[in-house]
A = this chain, B = another copy of it.
């Protein structure tokens, strides 16, 4: 018999009960007016979260499917692109592009490092003729967020398109697609969208659509022109993931009721509380520019990072994420994303105190919790920004 579990991972994230319950309803057919209503409401909810007038297309695929859709729909073989490798997921942009014979200029950052916009400006100069810049809003492997607003200011003055992986960031931090002039923006259901994994989302600016019309990379399932055509008929070109879509529709009701402003404040406060908590324990953050989606924390020297994550999970039932290859054991990642509340953060911090003590790290008990409580009070007393 295992302990009660608490999910603190940066995807999947905890799902509200009414969203879980939605999937227990009988399956609907997808070529009906009833389904079209749900489909249309979901698209409109996604547009609200993407802060865009562009259509948002729904793929039955993991986030990587949407990343590949971004690549194959705007490029031609041999095109030059700049790809900013921000970590495990940022590196995927380059991998996908190279699979398709794209000429990739890859900017490799040390994990957790920032990439100042001025550097992007010089990359664009030293690698002229780039058709696109691929980057990441919130790098899920490190918790680092990047200055997409300023990247977009720079890229929009060139011929290149700005393609942004917003998988873990969208909905949890500001990234208004239209206002910032992002050309291709993607996200996924299992992050701030509070829905099980299996759906990913992608939107194209009108500038990006010009590239779509010229793009000549091979594609069928991810051919966004088919999705555009079907959207006019309020449906998807291939059998959609009907139950997940119904769940996303339900979760978007909660997101709309809270409002984006509140979503951002909520995640900001949970992020601040988490950082304050781990720092009160004398732990160091991995990231030069930590965001409010997840916090990556260095394992103190002398401690076994894998063992720490195992104790958190197996002894205390608190599922945080470890570091990914090639940095396994060096840090851990605790999320503050999706349907969590302040007391999920308290739980995570209290369990960290206990697990660290188990490993012989000097913890009195309560110090991380106390630091977080000061910040969380804002959430509960002053601004009432729960979800």
What residues of chain A have their CB less than 8 Å away from a CB belonging to chain B? Answer: 5, 7, 9, 11-15, 20-21, 23-32, 60-65, 67-68, 95-96, 99-101, 188, 190, 196-199, 217-223, 238-244, 313, 319, 321
Contact = CB atoms under 8 A, between A and B. Distances in A.
Given A12-B27, A25-B20, A220 B62 contact: no
Contacts of A12: 27-30, 239, 242
A132 to B, nearest CB: 16
Chain A interface, DSSP helix/strand/loop, else mixed: loop
A238 B64 CA distance: 7
B24 A24 contact: yes
A99 B11 contact: no
Contacts of A321: 31
Nearest to A196: B243
A99 B217 CA distance: 9
Closest 10 pairs between A and B when the two form their complex, measured CB to CB: A198-B241, A23-B23, A196-B243, A62-B238, A24-B24, A100-B218, A64-B238, A12-B27, A20-B24, A96-B220
A28 B222 CA distance: 28
Interface centre among A9, A26, A29 (most CB of B within 10 A): A29
Contact of A63 (B23, B24, B239): B239
A197 B62 contact: no
11 contacts: A12-B28, A24-B24, A60-B62, A60-B198, A62-B241, A65-B238, A68-B220, A95-B220, A101-B218, A190-B239, A198-B241
A197 B60 contact: yes
Contacts of A242: 12, 190, 196-198
A219 B15 contact: no
Nearest to A2: B34
A29 B319 contact: yes
A62 B95 contact: no
B32 A319 contact: yes
Contact of A219 (B27, B99, B196, B239): B99
A150 B62 CA distance: 37
Interface centre among A27, A28, A32, A96 (most CB of B within 10 A): A27
A364 to B, nearest CB: 30
B64 A61 contact: no
Given A197-B239, A220-B64, A240-B62, A7 B29 contact: yes
